A and B are shown apart, each in its own frame.
Chain A
């Protein structure tokens, strides 16, 4: 079971003349089979938080780790853009991130490609796929390393509404099936309410303002009264925090 632990995290990017504070004293924990959405306006440090957790960036102060049984956990990362190697086939992109290249690993990669419905495209170049399909490869790639935890940075924000909706359902069923710890960054409150059992709200300046638990049964239909009501409540929180741009 993976544990995400963020303690007094601060991140400052040195800027010309004035430093930019991306995260300010952020602390929270999450572990086990949980889906935590991190929401907030753009520029509130959501992506920076994920990058620090993934080890791509280093904290200025504080700590941010994902551990499993005391040691560093294996982490999958789904980015806003698919970030596939354009010169490698879909299958080779899946294999690029694997620790070892055995038949067993290959089989596992095929299984996750099948889960996102892209078995037949395993030989295709990324450029031959639609944006939604490429993003599905990115999702399959993250799951295929069988990570202890999964980081997702607005993975559906570049997709059209219908494709995004389909992928949200796929993601939800994969999360239910694999029981991962998921940290999901989004600026879409509806998406957060539909998918998560917990919502962490960051405000401008990178401070954590609210940590909400959502006690609603899955699957959640956006048209369902309770889901709509919860979404309205979270949006009200946003208004109270003056997070909505006017």
Chain B
């Protein structure tokens, strides 16, 4: 009994104060952002730069967290946040719905036909790496300020991700399962509905996640150049007025928004759609591993 107690206390005291506060994953998850905020509030970076370059007299690199929170509170109260997000989200939804529709069709066609894939592959890769900045400037020149430009950039930014994921998805449909369906002479529509489409669903989810994320990034940029409303435009005008805290505040709202969408929408949806998945992540269409007889 004595040994158990003492060994227990050994384990406890084996973790120092430092380890408990900083090293265990759970503690680190809380400690790191708190330390970051403290450092930020104390303007440690500014002080450090001031030491390096004694002549430096410019204002702070960043507003303090307290200033940012104040700006965020104002944005919330005066309706700027709601206005900016509702306009931008509508554009995002419009552009990405189009990208999803066109991208799914093109992606399926590329997956099913090697000829179409050979034809389009390079375009998709270029689309994937083409800077949104250029699209933003181009749509501003084509359409001026308005809705069409930003929506088009969302479409262009999301499209390659949808195409690439869907065509990969078609390649990924298990040949073993397709042969099984062929051996049992299952009608084509049932194979499509119960075999092909469910196999594609992880890829469809990936399209949603990456396509939406990139559509959003493209949108904000396009709104800087080609819009007079929306989140991107608000950021530009805040910069023009020197509202530094407001810009950072909006950036934080973006971050919060992406976390909320991930947790509330994608997380829940994928848990529901993929509830058949084994907890271990083993591919169940593969033969199970057992000891040799």
A-B contact count (CB 8 A): 80
- Cβ 8 A contact of A51, one of B179, B201, B284, B288: B179
- Which residue in A82, A97, A125, A130 is a CB contact (below 8 Å) of B184? A97
In the complex, which of the residues B182, B289, B291 contacts A56, with contact meaning CB atoms closer than 8 Å?
A: B182
Q: Tell me whether A134 and B288 are in contact in the complex, defined as CB-CB below 8 angstroms, given that A79-B180, A164-B293 are known contacts.
A: yes
Q: Answer whether residue A189 sits at the interface, using C-beta atoms and an 8 A cutoff.
A: no
Residues on the A chain within 8 Å of B201, using CB: 87
Residues A81 and B290 in contact, CB atoms below 8 Å apart: no
B290 touches A158 (CB 8 A): yes
Max chain B Cβ within 10 angstroms of own Cβ: one of A84, A85, A96, A145: A85
Interface string of B257-293 (1 = CB under 8 A from A): 0000000000000000001111000111111111101
- Can you name the residue of chain B whose Cβ is closest to the Cβ of A134? B288
Interface residue B44 (Cβ < 8 Å from any Cβ of A): no
Grouping DSSP codes into helix (H, G, I), strand (E, B) and loop, the A interface class, with mixed when no group exceeds half, is: loop
The answer to whether A158 touches B183, judged by C-beta atoms less than 8 angstroms apart, is no
**CB <8 Å contact, B182 and A127:** no
* Least Cβ–Cβ distance between A6 and chain B, in angstroms: 17
Are the CB atoms of A87 and B293 closer together than 8 Å?
A: no
Q: Contact at B177–A83, with CB atoms within 8 Å?
A: yes
| Residues from chain B with Cβ under 8 Å of A134 in the complex | 284, 288
Indicate if A159 sits at the interface (CB-CB under 8 A): yes
Q: Which residue of A lies closest to B292 (CB)?
A: A160
Give bound CA distance, A84 to B174, whole Å: 11
Residues A83 and B182 in contact in the complex (CB < 8 Å), given A158-B287, A164-B293: no
Beta-carbon nearest neighbor of A50 in chain B: B183
Residues of A within 8 A of B283 (CB): 86
Q: How far in angstroms is the closest Cβ of chain B from A184?
A: 16
Interface presence of B185 (CB below 8 A)? yes
Q: Check A80 for interface membership: any CB of B closer than 8 A.
A: yes
- Is A113 interfacial (CB-CB < 8 Å)? no
Residue of B nearest to A57 (CB): B179
Tell me if A126 counts as interface (CB < 8 A to partner B).
yes
A127 adjacent to B282 (CB under 8 Å): yes
Closest residue of chain A to B176 (Cβ to Cβ) is A83
Is A96 a contact of B288 with CB atoms below 8 Å? no
User: Can you report 17 A-B residue pairs in the complex whose CB atoms are below 8 A from each other?
Assistant: A75-B183, A81-B176, A82-B287, A83-B285, A84-B284, A85-B177, A86-B284, A86-B285, A88-B194, A88-B198, A96-B186, A97-B186, A125-B275, A127-B276, A127-B278, A127-B284, A131-B288
Closest 10 A-B residue pairs measured CB to CB? Answer: A131-B288, A161-B293, A127-B278, A54-B183, A158-B287, A97-B184, A81-B287, A77-B183, A125-B276, A86-B284
